[in-house]
Structure 1
Amino acid sequence: MLTKVAAGGINHLLAQAEWARKRLREHEGAVAAVVIGGISLSFAIGPDGYFAKSAPDVTPSVIITLAPDALAKLPDGVDAAMSQVKISGQADLADSLSFVFRHLRWDGEADLARIFGPIIGRRAHQTASHIVQAIPETGGRIAANASEYLAHEGRLLVPQAELLLHAERLRHIRDTMSRLDKRIKRLTHTEASTT
């Protein structure tokens, strides 16, 4: 069941990318196994460049092993997630799969246009894109405002400028204490040698 769902999702993306299907057609009949944690899913590449569930007794040509945190890195970009992927097996197939998955992108606007029509689909996609871009910026502003309030108004945090000034004063005191300690040792050593 899980293999069928995963193949459906990947095939949806492949339907929007003729270049990817063309590259995968060169490997018709090859089997790729994807291992995530303890789960292994095997896909066969069909003559049309789409993935299908492979027969359970077929040895995979390529094994793609994803680190448990690879999927969590997808919001940081495909390259961030792919850095957590290990591909072993047939070199040319591994190269093709790596290339396809690094460059395969979802055309959300096309999917929304099919559901809502081209105008509403485009506007919904633009709105979603703006929201996705605004979230980190808004979060950063909220954090900056909260820390400024806590430092200046609430006096619950020490402002960075005061913290740096305090650290500089502590360094000065430490250096002065070190010089004083050396002077005391010299005087003590001088007194001991004269008596």
Structure 2
Amino acid sequence: MDAIKQVGVRGLNHLVRSESWAHERLLKHSGAHVRVDAGLFSLGLGIDQHGLFQLAAGERSPDVTLSLPPDFAVRALFDRSKLFATVKLDGSVDVAESLAFVFRNLRWDAEADLAGVIGDIAAHRLVRIGQSLASALSNSLRNTAANIQEYVVEESGILPSPRELGSFGEAVGRLRDDVASLEKRLAKL
């Protein structure tokens, strides 16, 4: 497990090094400790004197705790725009604000990294293919969810349709009014 964590930290540091603003922002919080909680997975990080992340050694209490939702990995792949709205930050306000800003704005330039290995044109084409596949997968998942919803509501009748819910709500309202009217009549007797 430590090898996986080490690879993750190296990847994160690669992104930080590629953006000078992120590096400078983290450098201000040198010595801070961060704990990332993702259900069964927990990771302790420290910010070193170079403004980079390192695996935290020891049981020092964190300056900031990031609590990730259970569906974090899925959101990271398909809905990055709303990803950080679901992350809870606790602890030092300054460190938390800097971390939130850095994580929200860090972008991986996969094309630039691939270009160093396979060349500019091949990297460009490979990234475009990857983007097309990701878009197709996202559309397929969205369509599948819509089809399942349509089946469950319209075909099988397992769940009521919005129209049926509206009619039911109106009928309940009429029944409530009729019962109130009946109670008034009975009270007069």
Please tell me the root mean square deviation across aligned C-alpha atoms, in Å: 2.9
Partner Cα separation in structure 2 for residue 5 and residue 60 of structure 1: 21
Q: 1:89 deviation in Å? A: 0.3
127, 130, 154: which one pairs with 1:128? Answer: 130
The one of 24, 27, 40 aligned to 1:25: 27
Aligned to 1:80: 82
User: In the alignment, does 2:54 pair up with 1:52?
Assistant: yes
Which of the residues 6, 9, 13 maps onto 1:7? 9
Q: Please, what TM-score do these two structures have when normalized by structure 2?
A: 0.68
1:67 maps to which residue? 69
Letter in 2 for 1:78: R
1:132, CA displacement in angstroms?
Answer: 2.3
Q: Aligned match of 2:103 in 96, 101, 104?
A: 101
For the residue of structure 1 that corresponds to 2:51, the secondary structure is coil
What TM-score, normalized by structure 1, do the two folds share?
Answer: 0.66
* C-alpha distance in 2 between matches for 1:140 and 1:37: 26
In structure 1, runs of 5+ residues without a counterpart are 145-156, 159-166, 172-195
C-alpha contact (below 8 Å) 1:7/1:51 kept by paired residues: yes
1:35-81, Cα deviation, whole Å (9 max, x unpaired): 11133211111122210012213221111111212222112333322
- Structure 2 unaligned residues grouped into runs of 5+: 147-153, 156-163, 168-189
Which letter does structure 2 place at the counterpart of 1:118? D
Q: Say if 1:89 and 1:129 are closer, same or farther in 2 by CA, change over 3 A.
A: same
Larger radius of gyration: 1
- Superposed, which structure 2 residues align to 1:85-164 within 5 Å? 85-137=87-139
Q: Report the identity percentage.
A: 34
Instruction: Report the Cα distance in structure 2 between the residues aligned to 1:5 and 1:52, rounded to whole angstroms.
Output: 11
CA deviations on 1:161-181 (whole Å, 9 max, x unpaired) are xxxxxx9xxx9xxxxxxxxxx
Task: Assess, with a 3 A threshold, how the Cα gap between structure 1 residues 120 and 61 changes in structure 2: closer, same or farther.
Answer: same
> What secondary structure is seen at the aligned counterpart in 2 of 1:82?
coil
- In the alignment, the residues of structure 2 paired with residue 40 and residue 139 of structure 1 have an alpha-carbon distance, to the nearest angstrom, of 29
2:36 pairs with 1:34: yes
The answer to whether the Cα contact below 8 Å between 1:70 and 1:82 also exists between their aligned partners in 2 is: no
- Secondary structure, aligned partner of 1:34: strand
Q: Would you say 1:16 and 2:55 are equivalent positions?
A: no
Residues 79-128 of structure 1, C-alpha deviation per residue, up to 9 Å, x if partnerless? 32222211000000000001111111111101111110122112211222
Question: Shift of residue 133 of structure 1?
Answer: 2.6
| Matching of residues 165-180 of structure 1 within 5 Å | none
Structure 2 CA distance for aligned equivalents of residues 55 and 3 of structure 1: 13
Q: Decide whether aligned partners of structure 1 residues 47 and 77 sit closer, same or farther in structure 2, where only a CA change above 3 A counts.
A: farther
Deviates more, 1:133-142 or 1:64-73: 133-142
Corresponding position of 1:162: none
Letter in 1 for 2:40: G
